[in-house]
């Protein structure tokens, strides 16, 4: 990632936990099953973040995250490099953080449609927060229910919305397409 991120264990994924047991779903190919993000020390740190969120009051977690982000972030931040949303309350906490920190561009990829749908209106989402609903199925079409989505494709086209991180050693490099609200769908090649 070209920026700091925050995540929790994949074992805490609600929708993703169900999808991970089904063939041809993006969660059945979860990158959290391999590499450094799956090592015991990383999973322990993810669980520690989950526990701190769970035990904190609504406002205490917001204040703690704002302090952390203010000290670590220049311009971009990613929610959930691992794991996913836990509640509508968590969505509202993330929205509040984005409202309080308009100089930071936030990206929130999620499978948790039900939590996003419970946010009153799209206008409640600040301009600096891009929420991208992930299609549940590999090669699945964007649902059209939300202005920003992601798709995992086995044979991606030469779309201008194709993630090319694999061409740079799996690094974002200068690309910030995932944070860009003018891009309706980002296509990730299945690797």
pLDDT of residue 121: 64
Instruction: Report DSSP letters for 31-45, one per residue.
Output: GGGSSGGGSHHHHHH
Interior angle at CA 158, CA 155 and CA 164, nearest 5:
85
Under-70 pLDDT residues of the chain: 120-123, 145, 156
Per-residue model confidence (pLDDT) at position 29: 87
In terms of pTM, does the model score above 0.85?
yes
**Helix (H, G, I), strand (E, B), or coil: what is residue 108?**
strand
pLDDT at 36: 83
If you search the block for the tokens 């779309």, which residue do you land on? 159
Angle in degrees, CA 91, 32, 96, rounded to 5: 15
Closest by CA to 33, choosing from 18, 48, 43, is 43
User: Interior CA angle at 41 toward 40 and 44, to 5°?
Assistant: 85
Residue ranges per structural domain of the chain: 5-137
CB 183, CB 168: distance < 8 Å: no
Contacts of 153 (CB under 8 A, 6+ apart): 138, 139, 187, 188, 189, 190
Express each pLDDT in 31-72 by its tens digit.
888 878 888 999 999 999 999 999 999 999 999 999 999 998
């Amino acid at each position: 990632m070209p920026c700091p991120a925050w995540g929790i264990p994949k074992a805490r994924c609600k929708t993703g936990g169900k999808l991970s047991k089904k063939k041809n779903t993006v969660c059945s190919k979860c990158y959290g099953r391999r590499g450094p993000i799956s090592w015991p020390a990383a999973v322990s740190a993810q669980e520690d973040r989950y526990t701190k969120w769970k035990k904190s009051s609504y406002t205490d977690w917001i204040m703690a995250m704002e302090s952390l982000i203010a000290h670590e972030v220049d311009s971009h931040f990613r929610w959930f490099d691992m794991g996913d949303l836990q509640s509508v309350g968590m969505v509202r906490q993330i929205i509040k953080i984005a409202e309080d920190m308009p100089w930071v561009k936030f990206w929130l990829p999620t499978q948790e449609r039900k939590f996003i749908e419970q946010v009153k209106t799209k206008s409640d989402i600040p301009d600096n927060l891009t929420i991208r609903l992930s299609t549940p199925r590999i090669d699945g079409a964007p649902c059209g229910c939300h202005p920003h989505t992601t798709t995992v494709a086995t044979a991606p086209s030469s779309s201008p919305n194709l993630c090319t991180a694999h061409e740079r050693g799996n690094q974002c490099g200068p690309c910030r397409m995932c944070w860009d609200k003018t891009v309706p769908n980002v296509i990730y090649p299945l690797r």
